[in-house]
Amino acid sequence: MAHKSDLIASNIEEYLKEHENKEILRFITCGSVDDGKSTLIGRLLYDSKMIFEDQLASIEKDSKKVGTTGDKLDLALLVDGLASEREQGITIDVAYRFFSTDKRKYIIADTPGHEQYTRNMATGASTADLAIILIDARQGVLTQTKRHSYIVSLLGIKNIIVAINKMDLIDFSQEIFEKIKKEYKKIIPNLYKGDNLNVKYIPISALDGDNIVNNSKKSSWYKGKPLMAILDNIEINKKVSNSFRMPIQYVIRPHLNFRGFSGTITSGEIEVGDSITVLPSRKTSKIKSIVSNEIKDLRPIGKDEKVETIKRAFAPMATTITLENEIDISRGDMLVKSDDIPEVSDCFSAMIVWMDEMPMKLSQNYIIKRATSVLNGNFESIEYKKNINSFEELEASELFLNDIAKCTLSVDRDIAIDPYHINRYTGSFIIIDKYSNSTVGAGMIISSKRDKKSKKREYTKEEIALNEYIRKNYPEWQCKKI
């Protein structure tokens, strides 16, 4: 294969085509405070030649002023761009960076280690395929290491690289490396579906670049591959459901002769003529046409204009479909294939990560946003709360900041129940405080809890009032009247 710079100089079109077809790996760096997450990303960018000369000159200047690495280049400054991050030497917000090698393109999320910013870490992990858990070789496995590892497993990330960092500060001691490795192995059975995880261990120095791109002579006892080789060759576990799911986002009605239903296909595929069912109403129809998403301009569709159509659409396409029958469909409904209908319920169990300083209370109502559905809901019970140190399952009546728990939720109308481990897009949701409009928690659906034959529950006066408030003030949310 030609060298990258030679290929760019000789044939830019060939280079761009080659670059476009590369596989993308999304990964996060996480762990406890000051484990070297930002420095590692800076090192990857530096060693992959993804830093421009002016950036490098700026980092050299800033390293002398606000750096924490003495005379060495502080590569963490490439990622920590906020003034408060540079002043304190910590990561506060999630920072995304991009680089590529000859084999793959990478999207990295640098997540904060502070317990206070765990919600930011969970956000960064929600779209990742792999997690690099950094551990300071001087500190070993800490509480935040366990918390981040559990959240990573909860969010369905199967590939984990445990990078034991700052090995240069302990003279690359194999004994300490093996001790930390043994300590981390003990927590794996306690992680969510820990038996399905693919965990690799590597001793590194992010500051000096040991075992990042090439194996270091300082750790001749380490016989594995360097970090970059592991990232380039590890199998990307992207288990995507084949079941067709299309949450409706908009109903398009430019004139009397056209009614289309728009949304992003989150999984599966659909063809013209396929039978579909609308949930939760269970109305059925067939696909009449699929409008191409290759929009040439933004003009409204005229009465006599023909729209460009295609025969087949698949995830993750954003598209518009028309149906053979005139049936009532609105934002928040979901289209599925009639021969593959998921369970529908207004009550389900879910794993919750609480992200707000105001505690979650069982008696309080919240807004639940799942895909394009916005619902009123409340927590019926907390089955258990995880003690992140011991991984014990504790009884609880409320949740506090960074708590992780299994709960039962009840919502004001039926929704399709897709377990998160089967479909991460329709199996996840966020919890919004109805007064502050702040996102206070995130959830992963496990299963339905309502007996199919049970009667519809009675709603409280507060739930009915909240429903009316949303319908009146947020008509675009298309809430069903209760």
Is 167 annotated among the ligand-binding residues? Answer: yes
Instruction: Please tell me the predicted confidence (pLDDT) of residue 14.
Output: 62
Is 346 annotated among the ligand-binding residues? Answer: no
Instruction: Please tell me the predicted confidence (pLDDT) of residue 85.
Output: 37
The pTM of the full predicted model, rounded to 2 decimals, is 0.79
Above pLDDT 90, what percent of the chain? 52
Is 148 annotated among the ligand-binding residues? Answer: no
Is 113 annotated among the ligand-binding residues? Answer: yes
Is 209 annotated among the ligand-binding residues? Answer: no
Instruction: Please tell me the predicted confidence (pLDDT) of residue 298.
Output: 41
The architecture in CATH of the region 343-477 reads Beta Barrel (2.40)
Is 70 annotated among the ligand-binding residues? Answer: no
Q: What is the average pLDDT score of the chain?
A: 82
| Tokens representing residue 1 in the block | 């294969």
Is 448 annotated among the ligand-binding residues? Answer: no
Is 38 annotated among the ligand-binding residues? Answer: yes
| Measured distance CA(441)–CA(372) in Å, rounded | 17
Is 110 annotated among the ligand-binding residues? Answer: yes
Angle at 172 between CA 167 and CA 173, to 5 degrees: 115
CATH class of 4-233: alpha beta
Is 361 annotated among the ligand-binding residues? Answer: no
Query: If pLDDT is split at 50, 70 and 90, which confidence band does 337 have?
Result: very high
| Tokens representing residue 430 in the block | 């966020």
> In this predicted structure, which of 40-44, 339-343, 429-433, 470-474 has the lowest mean pLDDT?
470-474
Question: Long-range pairs for 418-423 at CB < 8 Å and ≥24 separation?
Answer: 418/241, 418/243, 418/245, 418/342, 418/445, 419/445, 419/446, 419/447, 420/156, 420/350, 420/351, 420/444, 420/445, 420/446, 421/156, 421/193, 422/241, 422/243, 423/240, 423/241, 423/243, 423/245, 423/266, 423/267
Is 32 annotated among the ligand-binding residues? Answer: yes
Is 443 annotated among the ligand-binding residues? Answer: no
User: Fold match between 4-233 and 246-337?
Assistant: no
Is 263 annotated among the ligand-binding residues? Answer: no
Is 33 annotated among the ligand-binding residues? Answer: yes
Task: Return the domain boundaries, the chain.
Answer: 4-233, 246-337, 343-477
The architecture in CATH of the region 246-337 reads Beta Barrel (2.40)
Report the range out of 9-23, 412-426, 451-465, 468-482 with the highest average pLDDT: 412-426
Is 168 annotated among the ligand-binding residues? Answer: yes
Instruction: Please tell me the predicted confidence (pLDDT) of residue 109.
Output: 83
pLDDT tens readout for residues 132-190: 999 999 999 998 899 999 999 999 899 999 999 999 999 999 999 999 999 999 999 99
Residue range 68-81: average pLDDT? Answer: 57
Q: Which residue has the higher pLDDT, 274 or 31?
A: 274
Is 165 annotated among the ligand-binding residues? Answer: yes
Is 300 annotated among the ligand-binding residues? Answer: no
Residue range 447-461: average pLDDT? Answer: 63
